[in-house]
Amino acid sequence: MFQPMERRSGHHEFLPHLQITWTSLYNSTESTCRDLLETWSSLEAAHYTMKIFLAFLLAMGIIVTQGDAFCFSKLFKPGEAEKGCMLDGVLYPFGEIPRTENCFRCSCSKNEMHCCSLYHTPVNYDKETCKVIFNKKNCDYEVVQKHPSKPCSGYARVG
């Protein structure tokens, strides 16, 4: 295709009009590849860091929401839960139940019902001067003095 042209020095050249040398082409390609590799490496590191951070947030979310909750499971025999799940005399539909009548968050299937409390039980309070009242509307216990209008202080809660 290309006819070599003879130079005065006796060397042949295929494209004499291009002033590109192999060295300049190699250096240009090498620096471009190096830049691409550095960019790719930094993107990979950022992507990995984001994955780790997302996993951490997910774990913390699970721990915070279920960390102190009282949970239980009820397994069903085949055919026992055909229309839904029975809990405390109430039939609940299959699927997620955000709040039952007795303040539990449940998941219902034909095989089992898994529930966790929405409340935390007070402990380590002064039982002589304080009492515990369950507020079913808020799904929470209140620790008050035996005279109900006064709150008690210095107690902990457990699931």
Pairing of strands 140-145, 85-87: unpaired
pLDDT of the chain along its 159 residues, tens only? 555 544 444 444 555 555 555 555 555 666 677 777 787 777 777 777 777 766 666 555 554 444 456 899 999 999 999 999 999 999 999 999 999 999 999 999 999 999 999 988 888 888 888 888 888 999 988 888 887 666 777 655 554
Cβ proximity of 78 and 92 under 8 Å: no
User: What pTM was estimated for this model as a whole?
Assistant: 0.49
State the number of CA atoms in the 13 A half-sphere of 132 facing the CB. Answer: 16
Q: What is the pLDDT of residue 71?
A: 94
Q: Return the closest-CA partner of residue 136 out of 83, 67, 88, 64.
A: 88
Q: What is the pLDDT of residue 91?
A: 94
Q: What is the pLDDT of residue 41?
A: 77
Q: What is the pLDDT of residue 74?
A: 94
Q: Return the closest-CA partner of residue 120 out of 73, 156, 72.
A: 156
**Token pair for 66:** 């279920």
